[in-house]
Structure 1
């Protein structure tokens, strides 16, 4: 195959971004974190003091925002928002914005544009089913709710944020519900995706498993 497209999907806290990023570096191809794109847009909405349920204003921002990805950083209207988009405030709001069909379609077009004429690893919630339905490799990552909550909790604690574990766990449960029940491009496993449960597994082990899957399909 001329270009390799790898789609990695899964719920919040399953390790998608960390694993996809390491995989891309191992394979020396482009990594595209679609979740960061929705988070960046959410950050912009919050910064502009727009109600997250005001669809008209959110769609207007989406259609006019300048979003770029450079290496591991994401920029909104020229501002590097890479760190800002991981705040708990953004995390609590992103699923409400991500479920708006017009927002998703706009960002999907941008994601597909990034993947044109490039070998990519792309992670999100609807990559294998909607964004890159013809990807050669489709992986669905999952993990127990407790594992995912602990990962997110430790990540935020290391960044110096004052968070409560039970709040994180409830936030992930709520996000799972929103992601799986939204009408437009919900979170679900593509029929031809391979499930990998990352509970208790080191990131490097998961990356090796995916590389093995790729070698078997080459």
Structure 2
């Protein structure tokens, strides 16, 4: 672990799929002037690359090798891989369903670990994912674990898809999220769980502004102690 990173302020937002981590992390990062790491996007990029290359999603060695060759570029809200804008493609339901399978593989997680660590740079970083506070940034000054019921998360995803003109079945989305939660919790490497020192925040009855304010209040408290 690079001890120099202990001097860089890091906030981690972990939680299950569709818990709103990305939206909150971006808002918090913007409010503080910090960089933002969407770690889930890295796993989605790897999954999309595997699907495009025809790599089997259970071929751990081939997937890890593919990950080591990735050089994604995040700029102005877009994501480029080998010059191609994949911002929309990595959010497809096909990629979403397959990503938790790819992310469960230890060799894949090891291959992407250093890429994520390098995202921490001054003036600070807000990182969202599944294991940001437990594995990637255990020294983070503030760790938050966001959650909500599967049904509430499915309803949020349903609305997002509808806004993009994509038809979806709410019950199917709920079942899919419950299955992804199970895989994330039960995987052998970096299972989904709150860090021991994380603030657990159930957002089922909260709006975005309320969640952002809560995280910023916790950050203010944490900063006074550092």
Whether TM-score is above 0.5 comes out as yes
After superposition, what is the alpha-carbon deviation per residue over 1:22-46, rounded to whole angstroms, capped at 9, x for unaligned? Answer: 1111111101100011011111111
1:138 aligns with 2:143: yes
The structure 2 residue matched to 1:147, chosen from 144, 152, 155, is 152
Q: Which residue of 2 aligns with 1:3?
A: 8
Structure 1, unmatched stretches of 5+, are: none
Q: Residue 132 and residue 47 in structure 1: after superposition, are their counterparts in 2 closer, same or farther (change >3 A)?
A: same
Structure 1 contact 37–74 (Cα < 8 Å) conserved: no
Q: Which residue of 2 aligns with 1:87?
A: 92
TM-score computed with the length of structure 2 as normaliser: 0.92
The structure 2 residue matched to 1:24, chosen from 22, 29, 34, is 29
Q: Give the CA deviation at 1:65.
A: 2.1
After superposition, what is the alpha-carbon deviation per residue over 1:100-119, rounded to whole angstroms, capped at 9, x for unaligned? Answer: 11111111110101114450
The alignment partner of 2:140 has SS state of: coil
The structure 1 residue matched to 2:67, chosen from 50, 62, 69, is 62
Q: Pairwise mapping of residues 103-114 of structure 1 onto structure 2 (< 5 A)?
A: 103-114=108-119
After superposition, what is the alpha-carbon deviation per residue over 1:90-141, rounded to whole angstroms, capped at 9, x for unaligned? Answer: 0110011001111111111101011144500000000000000000000000
After superposition, what is the alpha-carbon deviation per residue over 1:179-204, rounded to whole angstroms, capped at 9, x for unaligned? Answer: 11111111110000001111121101
In the aligned structure 1, how far is the partner of 2:213 from the partner of 2:190?
Answer: 29
After superposition, what is the alpha-carbon deviation per residue over 1:149-193, rounded to whole angstroms, capped at 9, x for unaligned? Answer: 101111112111122111111110111011111111111100000
Structure 1 contact 9–139 (Cα < 8 Å) conserved: yes
The alignment partner of 1:114 has SS state of: coil
TM-score computed with the length of structure 1 as normaliser: 0.95
Q: Which residue of 2 aligns with 1:159?
A: 164
Alpha carbon RMSD of aligned pairs, Å?
A: 1.4
Structure 1 contact 10–187 (Cα < 8 Å) conserved: yes
Structure 2 contact 18–153 (Cα < 8 Å) conserved: yes
- When the two structures are aligned, how many residues end up with a matched partner? 218
In the aligned structure 2, how far is the partner of 1:32 from the partner of 1:187?
Answer: 18
